[in-house]
Amino acid sequence: MRMGDRAGRAPDRVGATPLPPPLEELTVSLAFVFPGQGSHRAGSLDTWGDHPALAVLDEVSEGIGRDVRALTADPAAGARTADAQPAILAASMVAWRALTDAGVAADVVAGHSLGEYSAAIAAGVFDVADGASLVAERGAAMAAACAANPGTMAAVVKLAPDAVEVLVERIDDLVVANDNAPGQVVVAGPPEAVAAVADAAKQAGGRALPLDVEGAFHSPAMAPAVDRVTRALATTPAAEPRITLIAGADATPRRDARGVTDGLEAGILAPVRWREVQLALAERGVTHLVEVGPGGVLAGLAKRTVPDLTVHKVEGPDDVAAVADRLVGATSSARA
């Protein structure tokens, strides 16, 4: 595990966070994971007070062309895809900047759906403003797809992924959208298809819990968003990653810029294979996993999926201090 170097922005902006050394063959021990759209919490930045890391919000606002602070404070933003995505990115960027400024640097990163853009910034593929611009375009494109193809989602719990696949095959237009953890698989489709899975899940010994979302994400309903996101990715400068990113679409390591952007493009329609991502992190030798951003959802999933890992979540300055004391201090002692 490397402590004190930083996985950060491309160094073409004044005051940019320095990048870590080029990728080397190292024993991985620390992973940063970044949350997705369901993690919006209004007022999530209040706990940061006047922390210096809040300065990163200016870079996010530059990228999205409006003041992101208003979005992070808006309770209704979570229900609006075009607003929720930049708001969550902003909260994650504050936590990430605080961690890097405290000398905590990841060896590998991953992100759940939207969170993969935060992970790409942390890996040095995009600077903050460009990454935020991509997220704004992605959110707008997906919101338009929601309007064109109405749909919804539900979390099927208490059933194995294979059992959920059987249910999905029996219901027209229903697909697996997220394989999150043992006993939690999210499905997506038209409202009538998602409604039908409730009875099917109950008969199989599980439950289907409706999700409060704007549309059927990670399903064919998002097809209208693909071209728009692809064009945005093609015209955005992308640097070679300085640390490995595990892509959510196939749970494989991406070590070059093209691999990262291809994964982001695929992630519009492909299911999020988050359970497999977590297992891939453990297989790479990760011992500590830090959820960087609001909600705590990924920390909870990790405790169920990879219970041997030490899991942390960072939502405020006290969390940063605790993680830095645990990880940076331990590394300094080991090197003394």
263 neighbors 254 (Cβ within 8 angstroms): yes
Cβ atoms within 10 A of the Cβ of 283, count? Answer: 12
Cβ atoms of 70 and 60 within 8 Å: the answer is no
Q: Can 133 be counted among the known catalytic residues?
A: no
Active site residue 40: no
Catalytic residue among 113, 118, 133, 219: 113
DSSP string, 178-208: EEEETTEEEEEE-HHHHHHHHHHHHHTT-EE
Distance between CA 320 and CA 98 in Å, rounded? 7
| CA–CA separation, 187 and 316 (whole Å) | 32
Q: In angstroms, how far is the first alpha carbon of the chain from the final one?
A: 15
The residue annotated as part of the active site, out of 40, 112, 218, 312, is 218
Is residue 180 within 8 A of residue 220, CB to CB? The reply is no
173, burial (CB in 10 Å: exposed 0-12, middle 13-18, buried 19+):
middle
CB 327 within 8 A of CB 30: yes
Catalytic residue numbers, as ranges: 113, 218
